[in-house]
Homo-oligomer: A and B are copies of this chain.
Amino acid sequence: MTDIPLAPCEKILRRNGAPRVSAEGVREFALVLEGVTADIAKEAAELAQHAGRNTVMVEDVRLARKNRK
Contact (Cβ within 8 A) B32 A17? no
Copy number in the complex reads 2
Taking CB atoms, residues of chain B closer than 8 Å to A62 are: 28, 32
A47 closest partner in B (C-beta):
B18
B interface footprint on A33-63 (CB within 8 Å = 1, 0 otherwise): 1011110111011101100001111101110
Contact pick for A56, options B25, B44, B48, CB 8 Å: B25
Contact pick for A69, options B21, B57, B69, CB 8 Å: B69
Interface residues of A, Cβ cutoff 8 Å to B: 12-13, 15-22, 24-25, 27-29, 32-33, 35-38, 40-42, 44-46, 48-49, 54-58, 60-62, 64-65, 68-69
